[in-house]
Amino acid sequence: MSHIPLSQPDITDREIDAVVATLRSGRLSIGPEQEAFEHAVANASGRTQGVAVSSGTAGLHAVLLALGVGPGDEVITTPFSFIASANCILMAGATPVFVDICPKSLNMDPARTEAAITAKTKAIVAVEVFGNTTHLRELERIAQRHEVALVEDCCEALGGVTACGRRAGSFGRASVFGFYPNKQITTGEGGMIVTDDHALADRCRSLRNQGRTPQAHHGADRAAGSWLAHQQLGYNYRMSEITAALGNAQMARLPQMLDARRRVAGDYMRQLMDCDDLVLPTVEAETDATMSWFVFVVRLGADYGRVERDRIIDGMKRHEIGASNYFPCIHLQPFYQERFGFKKGDFPIAERISERTLALPFYNLLDERSIELICRTLRLMVDRERLLKR
């Protein structure tokens, strides 16, 4: 066994056959695969409408535009996430307002979120960081109380269920999934907007398709003239039939893939449980909450900092084990600092956590022996740091 990657997609003959069949069908865009994929993902999240798009980022951008978010508006979100959850706010021309996170769930803190709402607040983009659905119901209530739109960025949470039985993708006005290769299911590149709001879904359908009417189709079944009629400024955020076919094959295996990920996370938990220098992911105590594992991120205890964390990541890599610093804080990315004047210390909880987190290899097919190798190597690195501190 040599290199263990950080992430790896789970592609079987089922996916390959589905893609080949679509290639042979002659229909490569806007067709039955897209429609089936939209139904599958909407169903899985308890929504009535699905709008397939070219990426999670495209989906978030389209939803904010469809909600009327624009210049002069503030949108509240988390500084501890993949950058797309904040970039979509900039793409819509609005101002991101960050709030600090809860150190257990790593999601944005509901109390701080409510306190950040002003007359200019138009929406909240709530992220289920690392697949953890904690606080989403509370954030939804806060959004309702203040009459601002909640957008759920569930790009990391497909298959997650809250303690109260709500599924990831069911919160707020609209929710967005992403299907990049490291997500629970992948289409290579792709995303899905889900909502119960037909009108909102139709605005997203128009935005993804160059501002055409939601019903516009090219070719034999197009309504007369609809293909070259553009009602508004739109984008090409469409998903191809090839991509959607891959998505349908992956969705058919979703329960099995979620099980595999739960097994990998469980193995990690067992093997690292007694390591005093590591903080393991916190899963909601309530028995019926189901975490949808996206990555396995641990963090060093409070005695450690960025230097030790980075040295451990480098050490893991030297031993041919993938590891990464999920996530650097968004507000400290240079272009955010320059444009909005953010600085170190603005969101101390997120910053202190972000400098001590490291993601370990995580994918469906990661076997027990590899997990043991990873954990033993990690322990060695952590022990070494403890000795260096003395």
Ligand X SMILES: *Cc1c(COP(=O)(O)O)cnc(C)c1O
For the CB of residue 163, give the shortest distance to ligand X in the complex, in Å: 21
- Cα–Cα nearest to 362, from 291, 290, 288, 287: 291
For the CB of residue 60, give the shortest distance to ligand X in the complex, in Å: 6
Residue 338: count of CB within 10 angstroms of its CB: 9
For the CB of residue 258, give the shortest distance to ligand X in the complex, in Å: 17
**What is the binding site for ligand X (CB under 6 A)?**
55-57, 81-82, 84-85, 127, 153, 155-156, 178, 180, 191
**Enclosing H/E stretch for 227:** none
Closer to ligand X at the Cβ: 75 or 155?
Answer: 155
Closer to ligand X at the Cβ: 6 or 216?
Answer: 6
Continuous H helices in the chain: 13-25, 32-44, 56-66, 84-91, 110-116, 136-145, 198-208, 241-252, 254-272, 306-318, 334-340, 348-354, 368-389
Closer to ligand X at the Cβ: 272 or 297?
Answer: 297
Give DSSP secondary structure letters for 75-137. EEE-SSS-THHHHHHHHTT-EEEE--B-TTT-SBPHHHHHHH--TTEEEEEEE-GGG--TTHH
For the CB of residue 265, give the shortest distance to ligand X in the complex, in Å: 17
258, 184 contact by CB (below 8 A): yes
Closer to ligand X at the Cβ: 42 or 272?
Answer: 42
- Cα–Cα nearest to 77, from 261, 336, 270: 336
Closer to ligand X at the Cβ: 136 or 382?
Answer: 136
Closer to ligand X at the Cβ: 154 or 323?
Answer: 154
DSSP letter, residue 54: S
For the CB of residue 8, give the shortest distance to ligand X in the complex, in Å: 16
For the CB of residue 292, give the shortest distance to ligand X in the complex, in Å: 12
